[in-house]
Amino acid sequence: MSSKNDQFFIRVWGARGSIPSPGPKTVKYGGNTSCLEVRCGNEIIILDAGTGIRSLGDLLLKEMPIHATILLSHAHWDHIQGFPFFTPVFLDGNSFDIYGETKIDIEETLRLQMMYPTFPVTLDELQSTIHFHDIKLHGHIQVKDVKINYDSLNHPGGVTGYKIEYKGKSIVYATDTEHFRCVDQTLLKLAKDCDILFYDATYTDDEYSGKVGFPKTTWGHSTWEAGVEIAQAANVKKLILWHHEPSHEDSLIDEIEQNAQKIFKETYAAYEGMVISLL
């Protein structure tokens, strides 16, 4: 019989980018913004605090008291806007370590989000124990038996990519990063031989270049085509397309996934409720 210590799985709570996009045409992949739950044995690791973190919080209430590590890729609104609605941080007995690299310190970033007149409860009123950690451009974090490497990727104002390793398996989270003319060497090193790569695939090549609509260059996002390229170059086992553009309906994401699979078979578009087990 396997034990809880043997578990290493990922669950998607929000895979949308930029702004929540609810409605009948986004039901399959979901409309909540970025939030990914990672379980490594007894450790709970949360990547980003977009609107998807609200529903994750409801699940975690059943496991209280809890301790979780929250890794923020950056402080753009779609990656932190769910934090004030994450119920476990309001409750005594829970504890959190929050990591992030921003132009101002991460505690101040979340404090400003929870201030009058935009929110009725301040950060100081939360009853849980929260430790904030400002991280450098690159380095590593050790959470008991879990090793987390991180590095700076390509996005306006900065963004952090994370690699989580546990019991010989690894995932890489590379949201909100823009590709270069050549393969991004920083991401290539971070993602080398990983089991799962979550990659920003906001646009198609035609959308990115302006062949459809207007150009999206320098906006800090990438394409599924660039995702396939980095997955092949880094020898990853599975590519997950992430941070879906808010106007992309389910039918278009279906098409994107199918086109990507023609080149890199183990490609899947992230959807709310998606669970991937590594152990």
Please say if the pLDDT value at position 2 is more than 60.
no
Report how far residue 66's alpha carbon sits from residue 62's, in angstroms, rounded to the nearest whole number. 9
In angstroms, what is the C-alpha Rg of the chain? 18
pLDDT number for residue 71 = 98
Please say if the pLDDT value at position 171 is more than 70.
yes
3-state secondary structure of 6: helix
Please say if the pLDDT value at position 8 is more than 60.
yes
Residue 172's closest CA among 66, 278, 49, 17? Answer: 278
Q: Percent of the chain having pLDDT more than 70?
A: 99
Contacts of 4 (CB under 8 A, 6+ apart): 41, 42
Q: Which amino acid is at 142?
A: Q
Please say if the pLDDT value at position 102 is more than 80.
no
Asked if residue 277 is part of any domain, the answer here is: no
**At which residue do the structure tokens 């890199």 appear?**
264
Task: Convert the pLDDT of each residue in 259-270 to its tens digit.
Answer: 999 999 999 999
Report how far residue 241's alpha carbon sits from residue 106's, in angstroms, rounded to the nearest whole number. 27
Number of compact structural domains in the chain: 1
Task: Convert the pLDDT of each residue in 205-264 to its tens digit.
Answer: 999 999 999 999 999 999 999 999 999 999 999 999 999 999 999 999 999 999 999 999
Q: How many CB atoms lie within 10 A of CB 132?
A: 18
The residue-averaged pLDDT of 77-87 equals 97
Please answer whether residues 45 and 143 qualify as being in contact, where contact means their C-beta atoms are separated by less than 8 angstroms: yes
pLDDT number for residue 3 = 58
pLDDT number for residue 141 = 97
pLDDT number for residue 264 = 98
Token digits for 271?
A: 């959807």
Report how far residue 167's alpha carbon sits from residue 163's, in angstroms, rounded to the nearest whole number. 13
At 111, the pLDDT band (50, 70, 90 cuts) reads very high
Q: Percent of the chain having pLDDT more than 90?
A: 95
Report how far residue 169's alpha carbon sits from residue 194's, in angstroms, rounded to the nearest whole number. 7
Please answer whether residues 218 and 248 qualify as being in contact, where contact means their C-beta atoms are separated by less than 8 angstroms: no
Q: What is the mean pLDDT of the chain?
A: 96
Q: What is the DSSP string of 81-130?
A: TTGGG-GGGGSTT-EEEEEE--SS-HHHHHHHHT-TTT-SS-GGG--SEE
Asked if residue 1 is part of any domain, the answer here is: no
pLDDT number for residue 206 = 96
More confident residue, 70 or 6: 70
Q: How many CB atoms lie within 10 A of CB 133?
A: 16
pLDDT number for residue 103 = 75
Please answer whether residues 80 and 72 qualify as being in contact, where contact means their C-beta atoms are separated by less than 8 angstroms: yes
pLDDT number for residue 136 = 86
pLDDT number for residue 44 = 98
Task: Convert the pLDDT of each residue in 36-54 to its tens digit.
Answer: 999 999 999 999 999 999 9
Domain boundaries, position 95: 8-270
Please say if the pLDDT value at position 101 is more than 90.
no
Residue 227's closest CA among 190, 193, 179? Answer: 179
Please answer whether residues 71 and 65 qualify as being in contact, where contact means their C-beta atoms are separated by less than 8 angstroms: no
Report how far residue 60's alpha carbon sits from residue 63's, in angstroms, rounded to the nearest whole number. 5
Report how far residue 149's alpha carbon sits from residue 146's, in angstroms, rounded to the nearest whole number. 10
The residue-averaged pLDDT of 10-28 equals 97
pLDDT number for residue 1 = 39
pTM score: 0.96
CATH of the domain at 159: 3.60.15.10
Please say if the pLDDT value at position 104 is more than 80.
no
The residue-averaged pLDDT of 101-117 equals 90
Report how far residue 164's alpha carbon sits from residue 171's, in angstroms, rounded to the nearest whole number. 5
Please say if the pLDDT value at position 4 is more than 90.
no
Sheet holding 159-166, edge to edge: 139-143, 146-153, 159-166, 169-174, 196-200, 238-242, 267-269
C-alpha angle 32/178/101, rounded to 5°? 70
